[in-house]
């Protein structure tokens, strides 16, 4: 440095050489040090974006978790907005798969909420159009927004090796965790038997089935359980563990990665329509249930009473038609003659 405090040419050259040497050493150290594997980030994709009258938009989201080659599994929740249990299960799966994604042997697509507008209001039907989304499949690409959502969701899920719809419980009921499959679908039945439910019901499709989401895919499994439009302690975990266990049986997830031991899971019973009795009230009034789900019942045992809300008098004692277990019990008390108040599995 000269008298004026300025760097001389030699000083500048020495500084430059020193900087180059330090940079070279740093580069060598970086190359020598083992690199930490960066965690993979799941892919988030808008299956469809719907414009609202206000000018805002709402999207149906798919979260994709992709490891190595292997089967593709699609898990869909929130087709009706009054089934928060399914949305909770989707959230728990996303949380788990965020950490497990690098070790997956296949692809898992999670659709957390197919009907976000209804879910925001806690109602089953798509607002504005008052449409039941689960009666619009396979949808219409040129139709009204709910029909276009049904179409886009169907097209996006096509090609999956296994489709699982998580519904939660039916409105007005408490239900034991259960899986529904179509009769004759052996592979889906065996996978459902690994899903930590109490019952695997080989259920014959009803007249409305062709317009439902699950009916669009061969071998689809439908999960139900809990209480309508509410979160039930333990049910979300049971269904989440069941889906993870199914992924393990398909080879998508290693058994060592499961957050539980397989021996802790439920061993379901397999039933057909012949084993399930729908119990209806003969009188109108308030139904007061007398038992909890999966309770053992005997033929003729009281399941509840229909009372006159004005006088308090008992109008009817509802009895079990057979011995078995209580698959579902009505929680919403107002009933009319012919209203279903319970389902009993004849074991």
pLDDT tens-digit profile, the chain (347 residues)? 444 444 444 443 444 444 444 444 444 444 444 444 444 556 899 999 999 988 899 999 999 999 999 999 999 999 999 999 999 999 999 999 999 999 999 999 999 999 999 999 999 999 989 999 999 999 999 999 999 999 999 999 999 999 999 998 888 999 999 999 999 999 999 999 999 999 999 999 999 999 999 999 999 999 999 999 999 999 999 999 999 999 999 999 999 999 999 889 999 999 999 999 999 999 999 999 998 999 999 999 999 999 999 999 999 999 999 999 999 999 999 999 999 999 999 98
Phi, psi of 262 (to 5 degrees): -60, -30
Q: What is residue 41's predicted lDDT score, i.e. its pLDDT?
A: 52
Distance, CA of 44 to CA of 125 (rounded, Å):
25
Distance, CA of 79 to CA of 171 (rounded, Å):
14
Q: What is residue 171's predicted lDDT score, i.e. its pLDDT?
A: 85
Distance, CA of 176 to CA of 179 (rounded, Å):
10
Q: Are strands 221-227 and 162-166 parallel, antiparallel or unpaired?
A: parallel
Alpha helices, DSSP H, located in the chain: 9-32, 84-100, 116-121, 145-157, 186-192, 235-249
Phi, psi of 11 (to 5 degrees): -60, -45
Chain centroid to CA 139: 21
Residue 66's DSSP bridge partners are 107
Question: Of 226, 239, 280, which is closest to residue 82 (Cα–Cα)?
Answer: 226
Across the chain, which distance is largest between two alpha carbons, in Å? 111
Q: What is residue 207's predicted lDDT score, i.e. its pLDDT?
A: 96
Question: Within 13 Å and on the Cβ side, how many CA atoms surround 95?
Answer: 10
Instruction: DSSP letter for 269, please.
Output: E
Conformational region of residue 277, where left means phi above 0, alpha means psi within -120 to 50, and beta covers everything else: beta
The dotted CATH code for 275-345 is: 2.40.50.100
43-267 architecture in CATH? 3-Layer(aba) Sandwich (3.40)
C-beta neighbour count of 59 within 10 angstroms: 15
Q: What is residue 257's predicted lDDT score, i.e. its pLDDT?
A: 96
User: pTM for the whole thing?
Assistant: 0.87
Q: What is residue 274's predicted lDDT score, i.e. its pLDDT?
A: 97
Distance, CA of 101 to CA of 98 (rounded, Å):
6
Per domain, the residue ranges of the chain are 43-267, 275-345
Torsion sign, CA atoms 281, 285, 288, 292? positive
Quick check: bond before 237 cis, omega within 30? no
């Amino acid at each position: 440095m000269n008298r004026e405090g300025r760097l001389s040419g030699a000083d500048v050259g020495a500084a430059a050489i020193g900087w180059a040497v330090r940079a070279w050493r740093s580069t060598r150290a970086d190359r020598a040090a083992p690199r930490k594997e960066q965690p993979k980030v799941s892919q988030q994709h808008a299956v469809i974006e719907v414009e609202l009258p206000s000018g805002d938009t709402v999207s149906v989201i798919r979260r994709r978790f992709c490891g190595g080659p292997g089967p593709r599994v699609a898990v869909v929740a929130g087709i009706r907005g009054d089934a928060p249990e399914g949305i909770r299960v989707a959230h728990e799966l996303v949380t788990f798969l965020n950490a497990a994604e690098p070790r997956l042997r296949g692809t898992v697509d999670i659709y957390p909420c197919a009907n976000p507008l209804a879910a925001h209001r806690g109602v089953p039907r798509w607002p504005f159009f008052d449409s039941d989304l689960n009666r619009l499949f396979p949808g219409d690409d040129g139709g009204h927004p709910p029909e276009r959502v049904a179409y886009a969701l169907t097209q996006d899920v096509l090609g999956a090796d296994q489709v699982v719809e998580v519904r939660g419980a039916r409105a007005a009921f408490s239900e034991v965790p259960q899986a529904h499959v179509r009769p004759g679908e052996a592979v889906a039945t065996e996978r459902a038997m690994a899903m930590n439910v109490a019952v695997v019901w080989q259920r014959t499709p009803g007249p409305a089935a062709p317009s439902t989401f699950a009916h669009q895919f061969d071998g689809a499994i439908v999960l139900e359980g809990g209480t309508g439009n509410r979160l039930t302690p333990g049910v979300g975990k049971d269904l989440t563990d069941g889906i993870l266990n199914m992924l393990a049986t398909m080879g998508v997830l290693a058994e060592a990665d499961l957050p539980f031991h397989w021996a802790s899971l439920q061993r379901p019973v397999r039933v057909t329509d012949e084993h399930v009795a729908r119990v209806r009230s003969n009188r109108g009034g308030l139904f007061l249930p007398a038992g909890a789900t999966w309770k053992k019942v005997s033929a003729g045992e009281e399941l509840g009473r229909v009372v006159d809300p004005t006088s308090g008098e008992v109008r009817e004692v509802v009895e079990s038609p057979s011995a078995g277990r209580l698959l579902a019990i009505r929680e919403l008390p107002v009933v009319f003659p012919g209203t279903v108040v319970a389902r009993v599995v004849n074991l």
